[in-house]
Amino acid sequence: MTMNRGPLTTPSPADAVPGPTAPPDRYDVVVVGGGPAGLAAAVTLARSLRSVVVVDAGEPRNAPAEGAHNVLGHEGVAPRDLLAAGRREAEAYGVEVRAGEVVDARRGADGTFEAQLADGAVLRARRLLLATGLVDELPDVPGLAQHWGHDVLHCPYCHGWEVRGRRIGVLGAGPASVHQTLLFRQLSDDVTLFLDGMDDPEPETWEQLAALGVRVVDGRVEQVGSAGEGDGAGLSVRLAAEDFAVDALVVAPRFVVRGELYGRLGGQLTEHPMGRMIPTDPTGRTDVPGVWAAGNARDLSAMVVVSAGEGLMAGAGLNADLVAEDARTTVEARRAVASRAQQPAGA
């Protein structure tokens, strides 16, 4: 069936009206967080000629680590070096990167967001991207935090290669610890699971651990400390009755998303077995109109490359949303011009 829509005409340049432009004190997007997700989103947006400012509090989650791994083309790069390179790339496209902390955010009646910084500055934007990351909340064991990111680990893909074939301990915290034990057993024949008060594994799990030669130690871990002087000395895991020497200790942190701003904007975090996170669609769009999220803020398990990829997707989603809004606004302006032109003189 063919519908007759009348003759199609191509608008002439005279029919066009200028597209909307942001006032000088307003950005297209404020990105909160200068990690891989935030910087990748900023680059994506800037390459589509969007005005972007990134506010970076300078607290990257992986700062304690010596290197970031599984980063194609940059294997083992120091985390802060990677971020410095990302900032240079973003700034080359015109992105403004500001050191500071966004302490409040709200949306005005006109739909424009206002992000207030700790120093009192206020940034205005049409859209807001939360790339605020998360904080690793470690088990409450004395000495554990001092070795975090070096001899105390949690991800076999981030740091497992570096401890392959060595003495690896796993601090029990639940089913996730058994999963970690099996993953690290792939990397070493010498793996010890410290139950540390967790529920006894199921019979099938006991059988797996026994078959794989995993040592299981009951009792509470009282303290973790250095086993000797200098790097590479390993750790001493102290229980009431005995000390155990390991080269690395694996833990299961609770992931705490930096979600305060999302809450101030009216959003609610969603529960996850490993913590809470900002709920989004696949592009990073949240339930709060005009607000996107990317990286660990919405994906607790995202590593560096995944976070950067999510930032790219969020940047593309934000730009598409702005393009659609710009098109609607321009159509409305064109209709208004045409309506005025059709009014009789002096009306």
Q: What is the tens place of the pLDDT at every residue in 252-289? A: 998 989 999 999 999 999 988 878 899 999 999 999 99
How far apart are alpha carbons 83 and 93 in whole angstroms? 16
Q: What is the pLDDT of residues 123-175, one digit of tens each?
A: 999 999 999 999 999 999 999 999 998 899 999 999 999 999 999 999 998 88
pLDDT above 70: residue 20:
no
pLDDT above 70: residue 200:
yes
Lowest mean per-residue pLDDT among 63-77, 111-125, 183-197:
63-77
Q: What is the mean pLDDT of residues 5-29?
A: 55
The pLDDT of residue 1: 44
The pLDDT of residue 9: 44
pLDDT above 90: residue 103:
yes
The pLDDT-based confidence of 23 (bands split at 50, 70, 90) is low
The pLDDT of residue 345: 66
The pLDDT of residue 322: 97
- pTM, full prediction: 0.88
pLDDT above 80: residue 188:
yes
Rounded to 10°, the helix 203-211/175-185 angle is: 20
Rounded to 10°, the helix 36-46/79-92 angle is: 20
The pLDDT of residue 10: 40
The pLDDT of residue 346: 60
Q: What is the mean pLDDT of residues 313-326?
A: 97
Per the document, the length of the chain is: 347
pLDDT above 60: residue 113:
yes
Q: What is the mean pLDDT of residues 214-233?
A: 86
CB 52 within 8 A of CB 46: yes
* Helix ranges, 47-135 (H): 79-92
pLDDT above 70: residue 100:
yes
The pLDDT of residue 294: 98
CB 238 within 8 A of CB 249: no
117-146 b/e (C-beta count within 10 Å ≥ 16 → b): beeeeebbbbbbbbbbbbbbebbebebbee
- Half-sphere exposure (CA, 13 Å, Cβ side) for 129? 38
More confident residue, 186 or 21: 186
Q: What is the mean pLDDT of residues 71-87?
A: 94
